[in-house]
Amino acid sequence: MKVYETSDIRNVALVGHGHSGKTSLAAAFLFTSGATTRFTRVDEGNTITDYDDEEVARKITISTAVAAAEWNKKKINLIDTPGFNIFISDTKASMIAADAALVVVDGVAGVEVQTEKVWSFADEFNLPRAIVINKLDRERSSFERSLESVQQFFGRTAIPVHLPIGSERDFKGVVDLVRMKSYTYANDGDGKGKEGEIPADMADAAKAGHEALVEMVAEGNDALLEEFFEKGTLPVDHILEGLHDAIRGRRVYPVLCASALHNVASDLLMNFINENFSTPVEHGPWKGTLNGKEVEREESDSAPVSVYVFKTVADPFAGRVSYFKVVSGVLRNDVNLVNVRTGGTERLSHIGALFGKTIPPVTEIHAGDLGAVAKLKETLTADTLDDKASQIAFPAVSLPEPSIAYAIAAKTRNDEDRMGNAIQKILEEDKSLRFYRDPQTKEFLLAGSGQQHVEIIVSRLKKRYGVDVELHAPKIPYRETIRGKADVQGRHKKQTGGHGQFGDCWIRMEPLPRGEKFAFENEVFGGAIPKNFIPAIEKGIVETAEKGYLAGFPVVDFKVIVYDGSYHDVDSSEMSFKLAARKAFKAAMEAAKPAILEPIMNVEVQAPVEYAGDLMGDMNGRRGRISGMDTKGGTQIIKAQVPMSEMLNYQNDLISMTQGRASFTMEFDHYDFVPGLQAEKIIAAAKAAKTGEEEEEE
Of 259, 272, 373, 361, which Cα lies nearest the Cα of 12? 272
Q: What is the mean pLDDT of residues 646-660?
A: 85
Helices of type H across 277-383:
280-283
- The domain in which residue 443 lies consists of 405-463
b/e per residue 580-612 (b: at least 16 CB within 10 A): bbbbbbebbbeebebbbbbbbbebbbbbbeebb
Amino acid found at 662: A
Quote the Cα angle for 187-188-189, to 5°: 90
Residue 694 has pLDDT above 60, yes or no: no
Domain membership flag for residue 399: no
Give 378-436 pLDDT, tens digit per residue: 999 999 999 888 889 999 998 877 767 888 999 998 988 899 889 998 988 888 898 98
DSSP state, residue 279? P
DSSP three-state, residue 668: strand
Total number of residues shown for the chain: 698
Q: What is the mean pLDDT of residues 660-687?
A: 87
From residue 348, how far is each of 333, 374, 656 by CA, in Å? 6, 8, 48
Asked if 41 and 183 sit in the same domain, the reply is yes
Of 293, 275, 261, which Cα lies nearest the Cα of 169? 261
d(CA 10, CA 276): 10
Of 398, 401, 372, 402, which Cα lies nearest the Cα of 385? 372
Residue 624 has pLDDT above 80, yes or no: yes
Asked if 635 and 584 sit in the same domain, the reply is no
Asked if 207 and 59 sit in the same domain, the reply is yes
Q: What is the mean pLDDT of residues 484-504?
A: 87
Domain membership flag for residue 691: no
d(CA 41, CA 260): 10
Assign 692 a pLDDT band (cuts: 50, 70, 90).
Answer: low
d(CA 97, CA 247): 18
| Angle of helix 22-32 versus helix 266-276 axis, rounded to 10 | 90
H helix or E strand, kind and range, residue 591:
helix 574-591
Domain membership flag for residue 3: no
If one counts every other C-beta atom within 10 angstroms of the C-beta of residue 1, the result is 15
Amino acid found at 77: N
Is residue 185 within 8 A of residue 173, CB to CB? The reply is: yes
Domain membership flag for residue 327: yes
Give 536-595 pLDDT, tens digit per residue: 999 999 999 999 999 989 999 999 999 999 998 888 899 999 999 999 999 999 999 999
Asked if 537 and 451 sit in the same domain, the reply is no
Of 90, 101, 168, 105, which Cα lies nearest the Cα of 456? 90
Asked if 235 and 223 sit in the same domain, the reply is yes
Asked if 445 and 575 sit in the same domain, the reply is no
d(CA 362, CA 253): 35
Residues with Cβ within 8 Å of residue 635, at least 6 apart in sequence: 113, 116, 606, 607, 608, 609
Asked if 365 and 486 sit in the same domain, the reply is no
H helix or E strand, kind and range, residue 246:
helix 236-248
Report how far apart the first and last C-alpha atoms of the chain are (Å, whole number): 70
Q: How many distinct structural domains can be found in the chain?
A: 5
Which H, E and C letters describe 548-578, residue by residue? CCCCCCCECCEEEEEEEEECCCCCCCHHHHH
The secondary structure of 171-200 as a DSSP string is --EEEETTTTEEEE--TT----PEEEPPPG
If one counts every other C-beta atom within 10 angstroms of the C-beta of residue 484, the result is 13
Q: Final residue of a domain: which of 572, 592, 612?
A: 592
427 versus 222: the higher-pLDDT residue is 427
Domain membership flag for residue 265: yes
At 365, which CATH number?
2.40.30.10
At 411, which CATH number?
3.30.70.870
d(CA 36, CA 23): 14
Q: What is the mean pLDDT of residues 157-181?
A: 96
Of 88, 90, 64, which Cα lies nearest the Cα of 77? 64
Asked if 364 and 424 sit in the same domain, the reply is no
At 609, which CATH number?
3.30.70.240
Q: Final residue of a domain: which of 283, 308, 333?
A: 283
Exposed (0-12), middle (13-18) or buried (19+): which is 663, by Cβ within 10 Å? buried
Task: Give the per-residue pLDDT at 540.
Answer: 95
Domain membership flag for residue 606: yes
Asked if 117 and 198 sit in the same domain, the reply is yes
Residue 596 has pLDDT above 50, yes or no: yes
Asked if 326 and 372 sit in the same domain, the reply is yes
Is residue 99 within 8 A of residue 40, CB to CB? The reply is: no
Q: What is the mean pLDDT of residues 141-146?
A: 95
H helix or E strand, kind and range, residue 24:
helix 22-32
Domain membership flag for residue 395: no
Q: What is the mean pLDDT of residues 122-132?
A: 96
Give 443-488 pLDDT, tens digit per residue: 888 988 777 888 889 998 998 889 999 988 877 889 999 999 999 9
Asked if 504 and 517 sit in the same domain, the reply is yes
Task: Give the per-residue pLDDT at 698.
Answer: 46
Domain membership flag for residue 470: no
Lowest mean pLDDT among 20-24, 221-225, 463-467: 221-225
At 504, which CATH number?
3.30.230.10
Amino acid found at 253: Y
Average pLDDT, the chain: 90
Of 125, 97, 99, 95, which Cα lies nearest the Cα of 279? 99
Quote the Cα angle for 462-468-469, to 5°: 115
d(CA 317, CA 59): 24
Task: Give the per-residue pLDDT at 178.
Answer: 95
From residue 470, how far is each of 31, 72, 206, 414, 535 by CA, in Å? 41, 51, 59, 14, 43
Task: Give the per-residue pLDDT at 695.
Answer: 53
Asked if 312 and 258 sit in the same domain, the reply is no
Q: Final residue of a domain: which of 237, 252, 283?
A: 283
Give backbone dihedrals phi and psi of 378, rounded to 5 degrees, phi first.
-135, 10
